[in-house]
Amino acid sequence: MSDAHDVLFRTLADPTRRAIFERLCREGEKTVGALTAHAGVSQPVVSKHLGLLKRAGLVLDRHEGRQTHYSAKVAALAPLVDWTSQMAGFWENRFDDLEDLLQRMDQ
Amino acid sequence: MSDAHDVLFRTLADPTRRAIFERLCREGEKTVGALTAHAGVSQPVVSKHLGLLKRAGLVLDRHEGRQTHYSAKVAALAPLVDWTSQMAGFWENRFDDLEDLLQRMDQ
DNA sequence: CTCATTCATAGCTGTCTGGCTATACGTTAA
DNA sequence: TTAACGTATAGCCAGACAGCTATGAATGAG
CA A14-A18-A22 angle, 5° bins: 170
The mean of the pLDDT values for chain A is 89
The per-residue pLDDT for range A26-77, each reduced to its tens digit, is: 999 999 999 999 999 999 999 999 999 999 999 999 999 999 999 999 999 9
Question: What is the pLDDT at residue B4?
Answer: 85
What's the CA A67/C1' D30 distance, rounded, in angstroms?
Answer: 20
Q: What is A4-106's CATH number, 2.40.50.140, 1.10.10.10, 1.10.1060.10, 3.40.718.10?
A: 1.10.10.10
The pLDDT confidence band at residue A100, using thresholds 50, 70 and 90, is low
Domain ranges of chain A: 4-106
Residue B95 has a pLDDT of: 65
The pLDDT tens digits for B3-54 are: 889 999 999 999 999 999 999 999 999 999 999 999 999 999 999 999 999 9
Nearest to A91 among B72, B90, B91 (CB): B72
Q: What is the ipTM of this complex?
A: 0.88
Q: Which nucleotides of C are covered by protein (CB under 7 A)?
A: 5-11, 17-23, 26-28
Q: Residue B89 — pLDDT band, cuts 50, 70, 90?
A: confident
Task: Report which residue is nearest nucleotide D17 when distances run from CA to C1'.
Answer: A14
Give, in order, the Cα–Cα distances in Å from B45 to each of B16, B42, B50: 10, 5, 9
Strand D: which positions are within 7 A of a protein CB?
A: 5-11, 17-23, 26-28
Q: How far apart are the first and last CA of chain A?
A: 46
What's the pLDDT score for residue B100? 62
Confidence grade of residue B80 (pLDDT, cut at 50, 70, 90)? very high
Percent of chain A at pLDDT > 70 equals 82
Q: B68 beta carbon < 7 A from strand D?
A: yes
CA distance A90 to A75: 24
Contact B12 A15 (CB under 8 A): no
**Sheet arrangement for strand B67-72:** B30-31, B67-72, B59-64
Q: How far apart are CA B6 and CA B57, in angstroms?
A: 13
Residue A101, pLDDT above cutoff 90: no
Terminal alpha carbon distance of chain B: 45
Collect all residues of chain A within an 8 Å Cβ-Cβ radius of residue B74. 87-88, 91
pLDDT at residue A67, as a whole number? 97
Could you tell me which residue, B2 or B40, shows the higher pLDDT?
Answer: B40
Return the number of other C-beta atoms located less than 10 Å from residue A15's C-beta: 16
> How many Å does it take to go from CA B45 to C1' D13?
15
At B90 the pLDDT is 73
